[in-house]
């Protein structure tokens, strides 16, 4: 084996996915250039392609220095590769970044070095947070790439615009947080002190990604206690601890009450409640309330004991205005009658609690929902209906999950990152006030080897990864945050110049399936957005 080591270092746009066999073009840049406003996260990307040897690569950075000697620190992460066995269904090749089976870039690794083989390419993600008090202007820094026998460096230039991104988060954002999955992965007892500590570390992490709504498993957190006189009282201790934790970490926002029921099959006409444990006052299990049809008198009887206490407690804590309640996930026309009856019980017994649902039915649910969250393609197909819901004073968000596919934007691992970036330009263009996705951290047994649990599309079940010391991001999660920041900047420009804001949004999103896929053109439009916001008038 030759003792010589040689590698090339080259720049790439962060919206481009780099594979192990990607090679630099003849005109590839050898320095990084980034533009950002103040108080936002910016991203850059470069790659290392090994020409000779099998080096162990390390990185070192020099802070960015700008006007008046002001310094901005930044971080680098090697991007990890994960195997994808099958491409997302119903997606033509031109909508994919690579055909499967193949190894795709996704997690940001928490390692100091990587071993590379001759011929391999390794991407590196660069994350810069621009402080709100950073003087506008140009900043320069350096990234050093070295092994035992070779070294290289890149200059990084950051242009900071005068505009300052609002800290206030106006887009409702929820990625469903799987607390039970954390306990399982880290092998701790659910709701033990170790579990709460891990929950807090994840809450602190996702808060930095502008999440401001938290799914709250109320049937796990609220303890039902049978009193000596036979009545049921609610112990809200863990519920309060949960909400206060997420408030302290800057997420709430909104409390998104977890689902109360489910259906046994997708096409089932009826929904059934989850089994609930009732405890004695001494802590022993008294009995288990069995699963019941949600339209039954028996279930109404349970709700009549539970919901009024929940509403009263929310009022006492001052949380009623920020609380929304899920009933059962994704109702469709065939089971909408069951859903409407269920919703009528809730509205009767807790009339001040708003109902939210990811839904796949339209007219059938009028009167049952306060916050509509249609699947993106179903919103697209029923825009007139959802505009009427907004006129009626109801909220309209959208959600993505294992659908839609094809031309639609979504955040699957085998899709281009521009499909992730434009999601929240859609929020702005169509005046949709929130975004929901079910898969924050519904990991497989080994999320670094299986991103398709239960044969789901790659990456649908999770967008972050578990690290030894806490959560790890992904390039998809990083780009999701960039898109959310774009939304907030568009809202800021709309206050200043609505015509320009709407024109820029329409340049990026012509329709929900016709959007700007050319990364350089997208960047030019965003540059205009930052420039308009930075103008004095």
Q: What is the pLDDT along the chain (537 residues), one digit of tens a residue?
A: 346 999 999 999 999 999 999 999 888 899 999 999 999 999 999 999 999 999 999 999 999 999 999 999 999 999 999 999 999 999 999 999 999 999 999 999 999 999 999 999 999 999 999 999 999 999 999 999 999 999 999 999 999 999 999 999 999 999 999 999 999 999 999 999 999 999 999 999 999 999 999 999 999 999 999 988 889 999 999 999 999 999 999 998 999 999 999 999 999 999 999 999 999 999 999 999 999 999 999 999 999 999 999 999 999 999 999 999 999 999 999 999 999 999 999 999 999 999 999 999 999 999 999 999 999 999 999 999 999 999 999 999 999 999 999 999 999 999 999 999 999 999 999 999 999 999 999 999 999 999 999 999 999 999 999 999 899 999 999 999 999 999 999 999 999 999 999 999 999 999 999 999 999 999 999 999 999 999 975
The Cα–Cα gap between 406 and 415 comes to 9
- Burial classification of residue 131, based on how many CB atoms lie within 10 Å of its CB (0-12 exposed, 13-18 middle, 19 or more buried): middle
Q: At what angle do helices 475-496 and 498-508 cross, to 10 degrees?
A: 150
Q: Which of 472, 424, 470 is nearest to 462 (CA)?
A: 472
The Cα–Cα gap between 128 and 451 comes to 28
pTM over 0.95: yes
Q: Which residues contact 109 (CB under 8 A, 6 or more apart)?
A: 77, 78, 79, 80, 472
326 and 260 in contact (C-beta within 8 Å)?
yes
Q: Report pLDDT for 537.
A: 54
Q: Phi/psi class of residue 137: alpha, beta or left (left: φ > 0; alpha: ψ in -120 to 50)?
A: left
Q: Phi and psi dihedrals of 32, rounded to 5?
A: -105, 140
Q: Report the C-alpha dihedral over residues 108, 167, 138, 74, rounded to 10 degrees.
A: -30
CATH homologous superfamily of 6-164: Immunoglobulins (2.60.40.10)
The Cα–Cα gap between 386 and 359 comes to 12
* Cα distance from N-terminal residue to C-terminal residue, the chain: 64
Q: Which of 218, 205, 200, 211 is nearest to 176 (CA)?
A: 211
Q: Report pLDDT for 3.
A: 61
Q: Which residues pair with 293 in a beta bridge?
A: 272
Paired sense of beta strands 509-511 and 514-515, if any: antiparallel
Q: Tokens standing for 410?
A: 């979504």
143 and 46 in contact (C-beta within 8 Å)?
yes
Q: Report the C-alpha dihedral over residues 215, 371, 496, 422, rounded to 10 degrees.
A: 60
- Taking 3-state DSSP, the helix, strand and coil percentages for the chain, each rounded to the nearest 5, stand at 30, 30, 40
The Cα–Cα gap between 354 and 352 comes to 6
- Burial classification of residue 142, based on how many CB atoms lie within 10 Å of its CB (0-12 exposed, 13-18 middle, 19 or more buried): middle
Instruction: Give the length of the chain.
Output: 537
For residue 99, give the 3-state DSSP assignment: coil
Q: Which of 280, 197, 273, 292 is nearest to 241 (CA)?
A: 197
427 and 435 in contact (C-beta within 8 Å)?
yes
Cβ density class 384-422: b for 16+ within 10 Å, e for less: ebbeebeeeeebbbbbbbbbbbebbbbbbbbbbbbbbbb
């Amino acid at each position: 084996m030759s003792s010589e080591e040689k590698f090339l270092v080259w720049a790439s746009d962060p919206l481009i996915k780099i594979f192990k066999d990607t090679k630099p073009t003849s005109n590839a840049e050898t320095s990084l250039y980034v533009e950002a406003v103040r108080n936002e996260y910016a991203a850059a990307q470069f790659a290392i392609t090994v020409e000779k040897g099998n080096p162990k690569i390390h990185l070192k950075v020099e802070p960015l220095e700008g006007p008046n000697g002001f310094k901005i620190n930044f971080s680098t992460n090697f991007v990890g590769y994960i195997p994808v066995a099958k491409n997302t269904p119903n997606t033509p090749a031109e909508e994919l970044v690579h055909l499967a089976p193949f190894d795709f870039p996704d997690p940001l690794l928490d390692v100091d070095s990587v071993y590379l083989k001759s011929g391999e390419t390794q991407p590196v993600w660069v994350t810069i947070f621009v402080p709100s008090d950073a003087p506008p202007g140009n900043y320069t820094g350096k990234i050093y790439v070295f092994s035992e026998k070779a070294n290289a460096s890149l200059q990084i230039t950051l242009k900071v615009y005068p505009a300052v991104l609002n800290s206030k988060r106006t887009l409702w954002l929820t990625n469903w947080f799987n607390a039970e999955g954390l306990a399982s992965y880290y092998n701790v007892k659910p709701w033990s002190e170790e579990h709460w500590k891990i929950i807090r570390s994840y809450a602190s992490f996702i808060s930095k990604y502008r999440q401001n709504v938290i799914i709250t498993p109320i049937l796990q957190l609220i303890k039902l206690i049978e009193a000596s006189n036979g009545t049921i009282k609610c112990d809200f201790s863990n519920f309060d601890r949960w909400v206060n934790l997420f408030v302290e970490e800057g997420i709430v926002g909104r409390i998104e009450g977890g689902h109360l029921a489910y259906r046994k099959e997708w096409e089932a006409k009826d929904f059934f409640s989850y089994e609930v444990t009732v405890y004695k006052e001494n802590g022993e299990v008294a009995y288990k309330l069995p699963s019941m049809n949600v339209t039954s008198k028996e279930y109404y009887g349970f709700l009549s004991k539970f919901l009024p206490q929940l509403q009263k407690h929310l009022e006492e804590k001052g949380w009623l205005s920020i609380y929304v309640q899920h009933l059962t996930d994704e109702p469709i026309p065939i089971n909408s009658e069951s859903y409407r009856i269920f919703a009528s019980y809730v509205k009767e017994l807790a009339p001040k609690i708003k109902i939210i649902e990811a839904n796949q039915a339209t007219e059938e649910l009028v009167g049952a929902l306060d916050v509509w969250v249609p699947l993106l393609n179903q919103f697209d197909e029923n825009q007139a209906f959802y505009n009427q819901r907004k006129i009626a004073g109801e909220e309209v968000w959208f959600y993505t999950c294992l659908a839609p596919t094809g031309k639609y934007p979504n955040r699957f691992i085998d899709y281009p990152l521009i499909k992730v970036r434009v999601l929240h330009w859609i929020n702005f263009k169509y005046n949709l006030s929130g975004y929901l996705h079910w898969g924050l951290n519904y990991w497989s047994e080994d999320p670094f080897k299986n991103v398709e649990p239960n044969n789901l599309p790659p990456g649908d079940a999770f967008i972050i990864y578990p690290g030894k010391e806490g959560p790890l991001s992904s390039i998809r999660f990083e780009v999701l945050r960039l898109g959310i920041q774009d939304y907030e900047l568009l809202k800021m420009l709309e206050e200043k110049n609505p015509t320009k804001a709407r024109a820029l949004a329409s340049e990026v999103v012509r329709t929900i399936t016709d959007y700007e896929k050319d990364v350089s053109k997208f960047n030019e439009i965003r540059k205009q957005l930052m420039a308009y916001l930075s103008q004095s008038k």
